[in-house]
Structure 1
Amino acid sequence: MYAIVDIETTGGHASSNGITEIAIHIHNGERVVKHFTTLLNPQKAIPQFITALTGIDNSMVANAPTFDEVAPVIYDMLKDVVFVAHNVNFDYSFVFHHLKKYGYVLNVKKLCTVRLSRKVIPGLPSYSLGKLCESIGITTHNRHRADGDAQATVQLFEHLLALGGLSHIDKMLKRTSAEHWLPIHLDKHIIDALPNSPGVYYFHNNKGKILYVGKAVDIKKRVTSHFTHNDDGKRRQYFLQQVTNITYTLCANELHALVLESTEIKKLWPPFNYSQKQPMQKFALYCFEDNVGYKRLAIDKRKKNLPALYCFNTLNEGLVLLRKMTEQFELNQKLCFIDKTVITAEEKSTITPPHLYNHKVQQALTALEQQLPSFAVLDEGLTPNDQLCLLIEKGSFWGMGYISNTSTALDINTIKENIEPYMDNDFIRNTIFNYAEQYPEKKIVFN
């Protein structure tokens, strides 16, 4: 038995919106044997654009039953049947959410007539309900009203059955099938082709734009988990409507995937990634020689083409470090731009001569460099002939890539020639430091 369902709502996601109308046609595979439809009072205002689309306004639902009043009837009709709808995940998410709200847990198989139509009648320019019905000669009435669209879906369903759709339905309803939980525009073959390997995966929309970047120890398993749980929130519902393709990059291990994911999120700025979107390090420590010959230290905004001695997320973080250096090595705070008042003629006569002062600056920089380690982490690569290499230079992430596993006397310059430079950030740096501490045998330290 099948329940062919259509609803009208006050908005696009179940958690914050109500149902204004519902229609259910119970179908035995040959004909409709039971029918139920009603307007519903959503207990909230219907937006004007929804009224313009459906024709349902606030006055029409003012005296209609609320969902809790008809929930027992709806649950009784749906509890033992296959839930069928055009873009089933949308309708199901609303009905599931509102039934659960009033104590009824719906747990039935779902069947999407969009996906079924693509299998039975491939190659059509559009699979929206209106255009699909027009393509195959089904006359529709009362569009964008629950019962009108449900009746059109009934005729479509019967047409698909007549064309041999039952064999596809049997496969789609199997527990191992992905058809009932996949996003409407995502082909099952894309999921089937994903590897059970570590890597970074990318969700794309129909224009190829990357919507989300994730990392996984098992790409197929992790990607599948995005779609197999019921989440009626706005973010997830919009996400499901957008995803049309998935690509991936294989990684040697989870560490590689973690670093690549972080880099890609900051480079691509995908709209559905919310974590790791902190600003890049904005400030840096620089050293330059002024026209009198003094080496001067300064904290400034990070420059793209000027090598920094060390980087900071905030100005205050940099100034704290620089103050410690001035105190420890007796550096002049005005020459370090901590005190930004003008150096008077009298003060100039008391400042240590450049050659002696510069020696103290160099001592401070040497001490800083000794605190900032340079090392590489080596791990297994994608093939037996290579190994993954991640390089930390002077406390900052320099880059990563694959090098030959026959390399013996590795030095920092040789590694740089064979790996790709990456942008440094706190998350990556801390991840590599923690990994090196956990697996010291994989760490090569450079003096």
Structure 2
Amino acid sequence: MLYAVVDIETTGGHASANGITEVAINIHDGSEIVESYTTLINPKRPVPMHITALTGIDDEMLVDAPSFEDVALQIYQLLRDKVFVAHNVNFDYSFLKHHLAAAGYELNCRKLCTVRLSRKLIPGQPSYSLGKLCAALQIPIQNRHRAAGDADATSILFKLLLNHDQDGIISEMLKKTSKEQVLPPHLDKASVTRLPNHPGVYYFKDNKGKIVYVGKAKDLRKRVLSHFSGNKPNRQRQDFLRTIHSVDYVTCGTELMALILEANEIRRLWPENNRAMKRYEHKYDLYAFEDQNGYLRLAIDRHKKNIKALHSFNNLLEGYNYLNRLVEKYQLCARLCYLQKTVTKCLAHENGQCFGACSGIETVAVYNKRLNKALLEIESEQPSFALVDEGRNPDEFSCLVVEQGKFYGMGYFTDKNFLNEGLSPIKNDLAVYQSNSYIINLILNHAEQYPQKLYKL
């Protein structure tokens, strides 16, 4: 078996927007290097100053260097039938696969990561970065942060790892059924294989244990592994993979419960990589208040965290349509409901739809009586019910509770008749969560799809 021990230098951290400035490939037969190849490459873009400071490679050095297209065939022929070996292999592999594809060559190699191998075969090291690991193991590095120097040091490290492998770990990692090489370099495979094939929420953590991403899953193990499949070259993915050091999880009875827990956990923890859910907010709410003349008034306004809303809407049009229906049904004043902005009496007064509350003709008591009827309708539209479903094991039932149109909480019970005495006795056994229109819509859609799970309270 032949191995291609590879190191590259680049203009940045992700392949889709950066070029390669240097490539070194050592062909290794398991005992020694049998062939070496190295070349500078003109990336056809400026080398950033911080990259020059790190590697010593500047624009002037690359003026007469070949373009990647000029050397792509030679690189492809060196790599195509070998095991691709590198320190943090997915970084080097993603760059070469991306740029070879652009040149018309499809790279598909088995991979070995010397970071992951070192963690398994030489455990307990204070650091597994190439420089610090080689220093600890007394492996010399000439020309650090240059492709040839780092590739030579990685080759020595790889031979040492081969010699340490008395239990066939490398052979196991190279099997097609092994997911080892798709994992981030710092994530232990055991932390993924212990994940159950059940619904739940998972937490990716960095080297300090800080949660950097929260996700939900119908199948925890399958979903977590899906994050690492493929070799997408964009910056966000590459930075994300380098951050992950561990994964934790919480099992849930159903996928719906996992969705709700995920939404609440993202709001609670605010992980840096959960962009989509961070942007979600209630857009508009319906509020009621009493003005200085004593008239009750309804208004659609943007969501306010510290004011209780009567109803929530995803957009302004939805809110206005709802309010217009109430105005027409209960003959409310459009101006007092902020649907008209006239200074004097509202336009509806002339055709008999408004009885003059806007101009003081209709008394406060009479007008507020009709508006209170509208408030009672709004309240009656806010349902109270439970959704009973599967639990986390065959001896358990899950329960989601909505009270007066707001999500209250969820929990697990072993007694099938736990709802016989109503909601109050089980409230103390439910974990309470925040409610918003996203969560309510999830629950209502589920209740509509599975009416047999619904218990009205």
CA-to-aligned-CA distance 1:224-244 (integer Å, 9 cap, x gap): 121122211111111110001
CA-to-aligned-CA distance 1:208-237 (integer Å, 9 cap, x gap): 222222221211111112112221111111
Percent of aligned positions that are identical:
52
Aligned residue for 1:73, secondary structure, equals helix
Cα shift at 1:368: 2.4
- 1 CA distance for matches of 2:53 and 2:140? 22
Structure 2 match to 1:232: 233
Structure 1 match to 2:407: 397
- The partner residue of 1:428 within 432, 439, 448 is 439
Structure 2 match to 1:107: 108
Cα shift at 1:170: 1.8
Aligned residue for 2:257, secondary structure, equals helix
Point out where structure 1 has 5 or more consecutive residues left out of the alignment: none
- 1 CA distance for matches of 2:338 and 2:409? 32
Question: Letter of the aligned partner of 1:400 in structure 2?
Answer: M
Is 1:437 aligned with 2:421?
no
Question: Letter of the aligned partner of 2:446 in structure 1?
Answer: Y
- 1 CA distance for matches of 2:9 and 2:245? 25
- 2 CA distance for matches of 1:421 and 1:324? 33
Question: Letter of the aligned partner of 1:144 in structure 2?
Answer: H
Is 1:360 aligned with 2:370?
yes
- 1 CA distance for matches of 2:167 and 2:70? 35
Structure 2 match to 1:5: 6
Structure 1 match to 2:352: none
Query: Using a 3 Å threshold, how does the CA distance of structure 1 residues 70 and 348 change in structure 2: closer, same or farther?
Result: closer
Cα shift at 1:35: 0.9
Query: Contact 2:357–2:367 (CA<8 Å) still a contact in 1?
Result: no
Structure 2 match to 1:198: 199
Structure 1 match to 2:348: none
Equivalences for residues 114-153 of structure 1 within 5 A: 114-153=115-154
Aligned residue for 1:60, secondary structure, equals helix
Question: Letter of the aligned partner of 1:392 in structure 2?
Answer: V
Cα shift at 1:357: 2.0
Aligned residue for 2:279, secondary structure, equals coil
Question: Letter of the aligned partner of 2:281 in structure 1?
Answer: M
- 1 CA distance for matches of 2:24 and 2:437? 53
Question: Letter of the aligned partner of 1:215 in structure 2?
Answer: K
Cα shift at 1:115: 1.6
Cα shift at 1:408: 4.3
- 2 CA distance for matches of 1:107 and 1:55? 31
Query: Contact 2:333–2:357 (CA<8 Å) still a contact in 1?
Result: no
Question: Letter of the aligned partner of 1:444 in structure 2?
Answer: Y
Cα shift at 1:152: 1.1
- 1 CA distance for matches of 2:306 and 2:244? 38
Q: Greater shift after overlay, 182-191 or 366-375? A: 366-375
Cα shift at 1:363: 1.4
Structure 2 match to 1:93: 94
Query: Using a 3 Å threshold, how does the CA distance of structure 1 residues 137 and 165 change in structure 2: closer, same or farther?
Result: farther
TM-score, scaled to structure 1: 0.91
Query: Contact 2:10–2:21 (CA<8 Å) still a contact in 1?
Result: yes
Q: Greater shift after overlay, 346-355 or 417-426? A: 346-355
Structure 2 match to 1:284: 285
Structure 2 match to 1:160: 161
Cα shift at 1:131: 1.2
Aligned residue for 1:43, secondary structure, equals coil
Query: Contact 1:385–1:405 (CA<8 Å) still a contact in 2?
Result: no
Query: Using a 3 Å threshold, how does the CA distance of structure 1 residues 115 and 383 change in structure 2: closer, same or farther?
Result: closer
Structure 2 match to 1:297: 298
Query: Using a 3 Å threshold, how does the CA distance of structure 1 residues 288 and 418 change in structure 2: closer, same or farther?
Result: farther
Q: Greater shift after overlay, 204-213 or 410-419? A: 410-419
- 2 CA distance for matches of 1:440 and 1:348? 45
Q: Greater shift after overlay, 234-243 or 212-221? A: 212-221
Query: Contact 1:120–1:165 (CA<8 Å) still a contact in 2?
Result: no
- 2 CA distance for matches of 1:197 and 1:10? 42
- 2 CA distance for matches of 1:105 and 1:296? 67
Question: Letter of the aligned partner of 1:88 in structure 2?
Answer: V
- 2 CA distance for matches of 1:12 and 1:349? 67
Structure 2 match to 1:51: 52
- 1 CA distance for matches of 2:417 and 2:384? 22
CA-to-aligned-CA distance 1:256-287 (integer Å, 9 cap, x gap): 11222222233333222233333422543333
Aligned residue for 2:322, secondary structure, equals helix
Q: Greater shift after overlay, 230-239 or 288-297? A: 288-297
Question: Letter of the aligned partner of 2:95 in structure 1?
Answer: F
- Computed over aligned residues only, the root mean square deviation of the Cα atoms, in angstroms, reads 2.5
Question: Letter of the aligned partner of 2:388 in structure 1?
Answer: L
Question: Letter of the aligned partner of 1:387 in structure 2?
Answer: F
Aligned residue for 1:275, secondary structure, equals helix
CA-to-aligned-CA distance 1:166-200 (integer Å, 9 cap, x gap): 83322222223232111011111111211111111
- 2 CA distance for matches of 1:164 and 1:413? 61
TM-score, scaled to structure 2: 0.89
- The partner residue of 1:407 within 392, 407, 418 is 418
- 2 CA distance for matches of 1:151 and 1:176? 30
- 1 CA distance for matches of 2:102 and 2:369? 73
- 2 CA distance for matches of 1:16 and 1:126? 29
Cα shift at 1:305: 5.1
Aligned residue for 2:229, secondary structure, equals coil
Question: Letter of the aligned partner of 1:234 in structure 2?
Answer: R
Query: Contact 2:115–2:186 (CA<8 Å) still a contact in 1?
Result: no
Question: Letter of the aligned partner of 2:202 in structure 1?
Answer: Y
Aligned residue for 2:277, secondary structure, equals coil
Cα shift at 1:98: 1.2
Query: Using a 3 Å threshold, how does the CA distance of structure 1 residues 299 and 420 change in structure 2: closer, same or farther?
Result: farther
Aligned residue for 2:397, secondary structure, equals strand
Q: Greater shift after overlay, 46-55 or 170-179? A: 170-179
Question: Letter of the aligned partner of 1:253 in structure 2?
Answer: T
Query: Using a 3 Å threshold, how does the CA distance of structure 1 residues 444 and 113 change in structure 2: closer, same or farther?
Result: same
Is 1:378 aligned with 2:388?
yes
- 2 CA distance for matches of 1:287 and 1:170? 69
Aligned residue for 1:307, secondary structure, equals coil
Query: Contact 2:419–2:426 (CA<8 Å) still a contact in 1?
Result: no
Aligned residue for 1:59, secondary structure, equals helix
- 2 CA distance for matches of 1:115 and 1:45? 33
- 1 CA distance for matches of 2:408 and 2:429? 12
Query: Using a 3 Å threshold, how does the CA distance of structure 1 residues 418 and 118 change in structure 2: closer, same or farther?
Result: closer
